[in-house]
Amino acid sequence: MPELPEVENLRRGLQRALRGRRIKKVVVTKPKLVSGKGNVRVASTKKAAEFARKLAGDSVLAVERLAKNLIFKMKSGAVVVAHLKMSGQFAYKDGKKKALTGGHPIELSEHELPNKHTHIIFDLDRGALYYNDTRMFGYVLWYPSAAAARAAHFQELGVEPLGPAFTLKYFREGLAKSGVMLKTALMDQAIVNGLGNIYADEVCFAAGVRPDRRANTLIAVETQRLHVAIKRVLAQAIATGGSSVSTYRLLDMTRGNYAREHKVYGRAGRPCVKCGRPLSKMLIQSRTTVFCKNCQK
């Protein structure tokens, strides 16, 4: 599943392609993707019809991001919240040009649009945007305003780790209230949003703290190191296009390069880049977690 840096880079590509585009018509073939509230998916043909009707004639002002969600801001004031989850993909095709596909790669989309995995089509004044999803865990939801989206979808979301609200005080208080393992706390979107399996491992290593420590046992200097590491690791990952492993691409179909910079993620058994000892692994919340027993305390 894409994390903050991957979603941010896809956002930038979609912003370049879609800003100012007017939606002429929307076709929804899988109502559950545009129905429901929050993460609850209940198919509703009525919701699908409303989704298509309310977006027809509207224009894209900007594409923003909140946590791991893409936020399409519309001229009408409405917003569309999209999450790719495990297998979602956006594809933009402008005339006869080759389609730009970003998100999880779907081979069929490279030469056929729409295809059997296409579940939403946005017919634009120039080209078309397709939402494709092989497993259909993702969602694309319409809300009348940003405030309505926050109230219905983001009420338990923490702050953006690269924004001004992510202060050391805020972060320290969030960890102090949590008795779970540190990695679990870092992936808790109510504490800090956008972190997942990859960057939780990388941040813990950068800060020299074991991911299986209880979050509320960290001393002040450890919390400060983590706070700095979160900002630095995420910024570096965004700058290099994110960690586009085999199941993710940017909108121009290229891979991000941050996977080359991974210090621990996916490197279990290999030498630690600091001390040279073999990296260890364990399961935390059913996630493979890699760390250095020597460098992380």
Six-digit token pair at 64? 């923003």
Would you say residue 252 has pLDDT above 80? no
A 10 A CB-CB count for 23 gives 24
Annotation marks residue 270 as catalytic: no
Which residues make up the CATH 3.20.190.10 domain(s) of the chain?
4-149
Residue 32 annotated as catalytic: no
How many CB atoms sit inside 10 A of residue 94's CB? 15
What is the DSSP annotation of 7-23?
Answer: HHHHHHHHHHHHTTPBE
Average pLDDT, integer, range 244-252:
60
pLDDT digits (tens, 9 = 90+) for 45-69: 999 999 999 999 999 999 999 999 9
Please give the mean pLDDT across all residues of the chain: 92
> Would you say 111 is a known binding-site residue?
no
Overall residue count recorded for the chain in this entry = 297
**What does DSSP say about strands 88-93 and 60-66: parallel, antiparallel, or unpaired?**
unpaired
Q: What is the C-alpha separation between 126 and 199, in angstroms, rounded?
A: 37
Phi-psi region of 103 (alpha: psi -120 to 50; beta: other; left: phi over 0): left
pLDDT of amino acid 255: 58
Question: Is 135 annotated as contributing to ligand binding?
Answer: yes
Record the pTM. 0.90
Contact 60, 19 (CB under 8 A): yes
- The one catalytic residue among 21, 30, 68, 210: 68
Q: Look at the block and give the residue holding tokens 């919390």.
A: 223
Check residues 136 and 244 and name the one with the higher pLDDT.
136
User: Catalytic annotation on 161?
Assistant: no
Catalytic residue among 2, 5, 31, 211: 2
Rounded to whole angstroms, the Cα distance separating 39 from 62 reads: 23
Higher-pLDDT residue of 36 and 149 is 149
Segment 10-24, tens digit of pLDDT: 999 999 999 999 999
Please confirm, yes or no, whether 68 is among the known catalytic residues: yes
pLDDT at 6 over 60: yes
Q: Which residues, 6+ apart, have CB-to-CB distance to 191 below 8 Å?
A: 158, 171, 174, 175, 178, 185
Is domain 168-291 given the CATH code 1.20.1260.10 in the classification? Answer: no
Q: Are 229 and 38 in contact (CB under 8 A)?
A: no
Q: CATH fold of 4-149, please?
A: N-terminal domain of MutM-like DNA repair proteins (3.20.190)
Q: Count of CB atoms within 10 A of residue 247's CB?
A: 12
- Residue among 67, 56, 62, 99 nearest 79 (CA): 62
> Where along the chain do the CATH 1.10.8.50 domains lie?
168-291
Q: Residue 181: its pLDDT value, please?
A: 98
Beta bridge partners of 80: 72, 142
